[in-house]
């Protein structure tokens, strides 16, 4: 397969890599989208019979094949596809793939170079391996949720960003890339058991390993980085917006104090924990006196570590983000973040096309993977695959 991405004419880091992503909820689609953004040929294997509308909003750069895995010819078709693929991403709880006869021992036996990535909440073993769950449950089990939240309040889940996406989708992508690198040496594939509980726990290594520094020994919401400190907080401005303050180091804290028009000689020391609640009130009353844009005028260009809290409407329009083209607009005028990180020679070139409809590329994918027209016709007549050309052409 070409080392160049279709349409862009620029080489991408993962060009030529064949990925099969079994359609799942949120984390696996992100994992597949990252690989697609960096040039992999990602096929999303959707369910047949298909539902009216897909739930994957992270289908950028992917193609869709609608295949009924519950029927033996459908499972057999996936086995054949895996025979020619580099990576399989499966997002089901443990046991589902085995029940379909598509477990790793089968697929790796048929293609020993396959990277078989299993992205689950609880992993492949252990008491919860077969239990349903969502981001908040995985965060809870990792220990991390217990650290999140404000003083006196219950633990608080910051959307489904941490377990689903950081500990799940991104960690799984990392596992895949590590296994692909290792395959260049051994020639062998392997299973990546990407548990979101463990992915997030690993991501929180700093919290675990800094416990002896005394950073976290007060209750939730009363520590340095968990909204306890006045200099690591958000503050409301006079126009109802917010500023984010992260002035940890003394030299940066000094600049914060200066920008707020305060005299450091008349204030308690920065790390006087008992004064933190009062200092917060003081900072809050000062921030409430000016608009967000007025505070930006004061703090932009300083090292006070004070930035505006931007809405989704405002973030793409902020001068800094515009200067780096940090957000992109696709052919449907939808705005989303540009893939990161930026690689200097082979950056990601995200697709600007709309996401695929379920089953939009069924036939072309099967042909590409070596199925004959007769075999495809049989799969159609057996109702094992579906095509969605009509809708795609509307
Ligand atoms: C917090 C997040 C979740 C957020 C998701 C939201 C973004 C979306 C949730 C609901 C969506 C809305 C809803 O669908 C209604 C609208 C629909 C419309 O189309 C769009 C708008 C909607 C409003 C829509 C909008 C959004 O999309 C939603 C709001 C998370 O935490 S996500 C992380 C979840 N956890 C995991 O991924 C860990 C691993 N997976 C699991 O543990 C389980 O999969 C899970 C998630 C617990 C689900 O369990 P379930 O019983 O449903 O599945 P499994 O046990 O894994 O088995 C899968 C079965 O499906 C069969 N199968 C799979 N593929 C095929 C195929 N191609 N052909 C045939 N059959 C297939 C497979 O064989 C299994 O069958 P069995 O059960 O019989 O073994």
pLDDT digits (tens, 9 = 90+) for 209-235: 998 888 888 999 999 999 999 999 999
The atom of ligand 1 lying closest to the CA of 133 is 47
pLDDT in tens, 274-325: 999 999 999 999 999 999 999 999 999 999 999 999 999 999 999 999 999 9
Domain ranges of the chain: 18-204+345-393, 232-323
* CATH annotation of 18-204+345-393: 3.40.50.10540
Does domain 232-323 bear CATH number 3.30.1540.10?
yes
Which ipTM score applies to this complex?
Answer: 0.94
Across the chain, mean pLDDT equals 94
Three-state secondary structure readout of the chain: CCCECCCCCCECCCCCCEEEEECCCCHHHHHHHHHHHCCCEEEEEEECCCCCCCCCCCCCCEEEEEECCCCHHHHHHHHHHHHCCCEEEECCCCCHHHHCCCCHHHHHHHCCCCEEEEEECCCCCCCCCCCCCCHHHHHHHHCHHHHCCCCCCCCCCCCCHHHHHHHHHHHHHHHHHHHHHHHHHHCCCEEEEEEHHHHHHHHCHHHHHCHHHCCCCCCCCCCCCCCCCCCEEEEECCCCCEEEEECCCHHHHHHHHHHCCCCHHHCCCCCCHHHHHHHHHHHHHHHCCCCHHHHHHHHCCCCCCEEEECCCCCHHHCHHHHHCCCEEECCCCCEEECCCCCCCCCCCCCCCCCCCCCCCCHHHHHHHCCCCHHHHHHHHHCCCEECCHHHHHC
Ligand 1: which residues within 6 Å by Cβ? 22, 24-27, 45, 47, 53, 55, 67-70, 91-93, 96, 99-100, 120-121, 132-135, 160, 164
The atom of ligand 1 lying closest to the CA of 131 is 42
């Amino acid at each position: 397969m070409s080392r160049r991405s279709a349409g862009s004419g620029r080489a991408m880091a993962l060009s030529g890599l064949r990925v099969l992503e079994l359609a799942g909820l949120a984390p696996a689609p992100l994992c597949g989208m990252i690989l697609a953004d960096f040039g992999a040929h990602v096929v999303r294997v959707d369910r047949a019979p298909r539902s009216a509308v897909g739930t994957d909003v992270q289908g950028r750069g992917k193609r869709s094949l609608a295949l009924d895995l519950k029927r033996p010819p459908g499972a057999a078709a996936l086995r054949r596809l895996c025979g020619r693929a580099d990576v399989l991403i499966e997002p089901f709880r443990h046991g589902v793939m085995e029940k379909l006869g598509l477990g790793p021992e089968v697929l790796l036996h048929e293609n020993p170079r396959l990277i078989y990535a299993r992205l689950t909440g609880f992993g492949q073993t252990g008491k919860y391996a077969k239990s349903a769950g969502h981001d908040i449950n995985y965060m809870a089990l990792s220990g991390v949720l217990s650290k999140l939240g404000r003083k006196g309040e219950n633990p608080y889940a910051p959307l489904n960003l941490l377990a689903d996406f950081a500990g799940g989708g991104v960690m799984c992508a990392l596992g895949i890339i590590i296994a692909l690198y290792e395959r260049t040496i051994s020639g062998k594939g392997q299973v990546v058991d990407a548990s979101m509980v463990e992915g997030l726990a690993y991501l929180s290594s700093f919290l675990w390993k800094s416990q002896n520094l005394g950073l976290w020994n007060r209750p939730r919401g009363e520590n340095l980085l968990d909204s306890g400190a006045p200099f690591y907080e958000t503050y409301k401005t006079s126009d109802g917006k917010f500023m984010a303050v992260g002035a940890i180091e003394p030299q940066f804290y000094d600049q914060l104090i200066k920008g707020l028009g305060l005299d450091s000689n008349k204030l308690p020391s920065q790390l006087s924990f008992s004064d933190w609640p009062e200092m917060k009130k003081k900072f809050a009353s000062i921030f409430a006196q000016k608009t967000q844009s007025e505070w930006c005028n004061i703090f932009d260009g300083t090292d006070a570590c004070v930035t505006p809290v931007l809405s989704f409407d405002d973030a793409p329009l902020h001068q800094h983000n515009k200067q780096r083209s940090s957000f992109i607009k696709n052919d449907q005028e939808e705005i989303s973040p540009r893939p990161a990180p930026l690689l200097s020679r082979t950056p990601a070139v995200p697709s600007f096309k709309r996401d695929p409809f379920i089953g939009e590329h069924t036939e072309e994918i099967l042909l590409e993977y070596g199925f004959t027209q007769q075999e495809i016709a049989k799969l159609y007549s057996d109702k094992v695959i579906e095509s969605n050309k009509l809708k795609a052409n509307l």
